[in-house]
C-alpha cells in the first residue's frame, strides 16, 4: 500500500503501527475491517486507549476526540463513575439469564427524564429499537404503511434504510419523494411499505400524511427534521443521537410530544444498547400477561453490564453537564461559521447534495494530522463532557488551518 498524495504521505509517516495492525489480518474480513464504519482511506487508525476527551493510537499519537464512538460516549472515555459501576457489576456476574435489578432502574430513570415516556424496554442497538417501534406501531394501529423523512437515518433494517441518501436522479419529485432502497439486498416489499416525506416542506408533508392517514401506522423522525396527531398517526421520535441534547431529550428541547421514542448510544454507558418506549397504552401490548401480543426479544437485551454502565452514565448527566455541552456546542458553531464563510448551511437533504464531498476525506486526514479525531464522514461528530472551551477553539483553528493547507487542496481537487 502506497500514499496517493502528500497528505496521505504524512499519515503513513505518523502511523506505521496502525498500518501494520490493519494489514496483519486484512484477509480475515472484507476490506480488513470488522465493521463498515471503522473504514476510511488510506487505512484506519488502531487506537491503543481512550482517556477522558482524548484517544491515543498504537503509534503514541494523541487526538482530541470529537467523534466519541459515533456520539455514544458523552462522558468521554473511562469515566470513573461508569468504570466503578461496571467493575461492581462484573463482581456479581456478566449475564445470568435473569434480571439483576438495574434494568428497571434504567427504565425508571428514562421515564423520569423524558416527559412522553411512561414505559420503556431494551434492545441491543438503536436499529433494533427502531425495528420494534415500527412493529409495535403497526400492531397498535392495525395499519401497514410507515413514513420517514428523506435524508434521515433510523438504523440498518429494511423498513427504514429507505431514502437515507438517495441520488437526486432516483429521488423523485421534491414534494413527493420516491422510496429508494439504500442497500442492495433489501426486500422490495419493505421498501414499498415506506413512504418518504420531504424534509423541510411542511405543506407537502401534511398533504402526504393526510392522503395516506387511513393506512399509515407511524411517522419516524429525528430532531434534525408534528402533524401526526391531527391525522391519527403515531409519531416515533428517534432520540438515538438526539437524547444528548437535553436532560429530557431533543423532545424537551424542541417541545415535541411523540407517542413512541427510540434510544441508543449514550443510554448504555458505552456498551451496546437500544431502548424504546412511550405511551403506556401502546407499550402495554408487551405486558407479559396480556396474551398473544407483539414479539420483542433478544438474548443480550437489558444486559446487566450495559444496564449498570447506562445507569451510572445517566446519573452523571446533570443539568449542569447539559449546560456545559450546550455552551461548547454554541462556541463551536460560532467558530466554524466564521471559519467556513464560503459554505452556505444546507436547508434540507437535497440542498446538502450541493456540498463538494471531495474535501471530506482530505479534511478528515488533515485534522488527524493536527491531533483531532472526528467521524470520518465529518457527519457523526459530537462533544463530550470533559471537553474544554480551549479544545473547541483549537479545533476551530485547526479546521481553518487545514483549509489553508495546500496538501488538502491538492488531495481534494486532483482526483
Number of residues that bind ligand PLP (CB under 6 A): 14
Strands in 47-51's sheet, in edge-to-edge order, are 47-51, 54-57, 62-65, 372-373
Does 69 help bind ligand PLP (rule: CB under 6 A)?
Answer: no
CB of 129 to ligand PLP, least distance (A): 7
Give CA angle at 249 (395, 326), nearest 5°.
30
Cis peptide before 398 (omega within 30 of 0): no
In whole angstroms, give the CA distance from residue 383 to residue 65: 8
Q: Within a 10 A sphere around the Cβ of 277, how many other Cβ atoms?
A: 24
**Candidate residues 75, 145, 240, 395; the one interacting with ligand PLP per rule CB under 6 A:** 240
238 flagged as catalytic: yes
CB of 125 to ligand PLP, least distance (A): 4
Candidates 172-180, 233-241, 305-313, 329-337; binding stretch for ligand PLP (CB under 6 A): 233-241
In whole angstroms, give the CA distance from residue 97 to residue 302: 10
Report the residue number, 127 or 228, with the smaller CB distance to ligand PLP: 127
Please state, in angstroms and as integers, the Cα–Cα distance from residue 220 to each residue in 146, 217, 223, 269, 383, following that order. 8, 10, 10, 25, 25
Does 127 help bind ligand PLP (rule: CB under 6 A)?
Answer: yes
Candidates 78-86, 182-190, 235-243, 394-402; binding stretch for ligand PLP (CB under 6 A): 235-243
**Beta strands 216-221 and 47-51: pairing type?**
unpaired
Please name which of 361, 376, 394, 369 lies closest in space to residue 57, comparing C-alpha atoms: 369
CB of 278 to ligand PLP, least distance (A): 16
Q: State the catalytic residue, choosing from 158, 193, 238, 259.
A: 238
Of 170-229, binders to ligand PLP (CB under 6 A) are 222
Contact status, residue 172 vs residue 197, Cβ threshold 8 Å: no
338 flagged as catalytic: no
In whole angstroms, give the CA distance from residue 360 to residue 338: 18
Does 235 help bind ligand PLP (rule: CB under 6 A)?
Answer: no
Q: Which residue is nearest to ligand PLP (CB)?
A: 126
Burial of residue 256 (CB within 10 Å: 0-12, 13-18, 19+) is middle
In whole angstroms, give the CA distance from residue 12 to residue 16: 6
254 flagged as catalytic: no
Of 134-173, binders to ligand PLP (CB under 6 A) are 153-155
String marking each residue 70-99 x if it binds ligand PLP according to CB under 6 A:
x-----------------------------
CB of 154 to ligand PLP, least distance (A): 5
> Which set of grid coordinates corresponds to residue 179?
422510496
Q: State the catalytic residue, choosing from 153, 158, 349, 369.
A: 153
CB of 369 to ligand PLP, least distance (A): 26
Candidates 120-128, 163-171, 252-260, 389-397; binding stretch for ligand PLP (CB under 6 A): 120-128
Of 246-285, binders to ligand PLP (CB under 6 A) are 264, 274
Contacts to ligand PLP by CB under 6 A? 70, 125-127, 130, 153-155, 222, 238, 240-241, 264, 274
Amino acid at each position: 500500500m502506497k500514499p496517493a498524495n502528500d497528505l496521505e504521505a504524512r499519515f503513513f509517516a505518523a502511523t506505521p503501527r496502525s498500518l501494520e495492525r490493519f494489514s496483519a489480518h486484512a484477509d480475515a474480513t472484507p476490506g480488513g475491517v470488522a465493521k463498515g464504519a471503522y473504514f476510511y482511506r488510506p487505512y484506519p487508525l488502531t487506537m491503543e486507549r481512550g482517556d477522558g476527551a482524548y484517544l491515543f493510537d498504537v503509534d503514541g499519537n494523541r487526538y482530541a476526540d470529537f467523534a466519541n464512538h459515533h456520539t455514544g460516549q458523552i462522558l468521554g472515555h473511562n469515566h470513573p463513575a461508569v468504570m466503578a459501576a461496571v467493575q461492581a457489576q462484573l463482581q456479581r456476574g456478566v449475564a445470568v439469564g435473569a434480571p439483576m435489578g438495574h434494568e428497571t432502574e434504567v427504565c425508571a430513570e428514562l421515564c423520569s427524564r423524558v416527559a412522553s415516556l411512561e414505559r420503556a424496554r431494551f434492545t441491543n442497538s438503536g436499529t433494533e429499537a427502531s425495528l420494534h417501534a415500527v412493529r409495535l406501531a403497526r400492531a397498535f394501529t392495525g395499519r401497514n404503511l410507515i413514513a420517514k423523512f428523506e435524508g434521515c437515518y433510523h438504523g440498518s433494517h429494511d423498513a427504514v434504510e429507505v431514502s437515507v441518501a438517495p441520488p437526486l436522479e432516483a429521488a423523485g419529485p421534491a414534494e413527493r419523494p420516491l422510496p429508494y432502497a439504500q442497500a442492495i439486498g433489501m426486500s422490495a416489499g419493505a421498501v414499498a411499505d415506506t413512504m418518504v416525506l420531504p424534509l423541510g416542506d411542511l405543506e407537502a408533508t401534511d398533504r402526504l400524511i393526510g392522503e395516506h392517514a387511513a393506512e399509515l401506522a407511524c411517522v419516524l423522525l429525528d430532531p434534525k427534521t408534528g402533524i401526526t396527531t391531527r391525522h391519527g398517526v403515531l409519531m416515533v421520535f428517534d432520540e438515538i443521537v438526539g437524547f444528548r441534547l437535553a436532560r429530557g431529550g431533543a423532545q424537551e428541547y424542541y417541545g415535541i410530544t411523540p407517542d413512541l421514542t427510540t434510544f441508543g448510544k449514550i443510554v448504555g454507558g458505552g456498551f451496546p444498547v437500544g431502548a424504546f418506549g412511550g405511551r403506556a397504552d401502546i407499550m402495554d401490548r408487551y405486558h407479559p400477561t396480556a396474551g398473544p401480543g407483539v414479539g420483542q426479544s433478544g438474548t443480550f437485551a437489558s444486559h446487566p453490564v450495559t444496564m449498570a454502565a447506562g445507569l451510572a452514565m445517566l446519573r452523571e448527566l446533570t443539568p449542569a453537564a447539559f449546560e456545559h455541552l450546550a455552551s461548547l456546542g454554541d462556541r463551536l458553531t460560532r467558530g466554524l461559521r466564521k471559519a467556513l464563510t464560503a459554505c452556505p448551511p444546507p436547508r434540507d437533504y437535497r440542498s446538502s447534495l450541493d456540498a463538494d464531498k471531495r474535501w471530506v476525506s482530505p479534511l478528515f486526514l488533515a485534522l488527524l494530522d493536527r491531533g483531532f479525531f472526528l467521524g470520518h464522514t465529518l457527519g457523526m461528530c459530537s462533544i463530550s463532557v470533559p471537553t474544554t472551551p480551549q479544545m473547541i477553539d483549537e479545533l476551530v483553528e485547526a479546521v481553518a488551518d487545514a483549509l489553508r493547507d495546500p496538501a488538502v487542496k491538492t488531495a481534494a481537487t486532483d482526483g
